[in-house]
Amino acid sequence: MGVLPLAGKNRAWLKGVSVRGGINNVMDEEPPLADEQYGYQSGTANVRGRQFTCEVSRKF
């Protein structure tokens, strides 16, 4: 496992970097049943369970 040198004096490579993260369905609950094509409201629920997202971007 590698370690990034974040504690050094030269942090110029971090200029303009942004990191975003998120978690959908934190409690990992099943969506409620509904009278829809898929058996649940696809616009408000997801049967895939808990999902994690991470985005790293840099502006030049």
Extended beta strands in 1-60, E state: 17-24, 51-58
- What are the phi and psi torsion angles at 56 (to 5°)? -120, 125
Determine the 3-state secondary structure of 40 from DSSP.
Answer: coil
Q: What is the pTM of this model?
A: 0.58
- At 23, the amino acid letter reads I
Q: How far apart are CA 19 and CA 57, in angstroms?
A: 7
pLDDT tens figures, 1-52: 555 555 566 778 888 999 999 998 888 888 778 777 767 776 677 778 889 9
Q: How far apart are CA 50 and CA 52, in angstroms?
A: 7
Residue pointed to by tokens 């790293």? 56
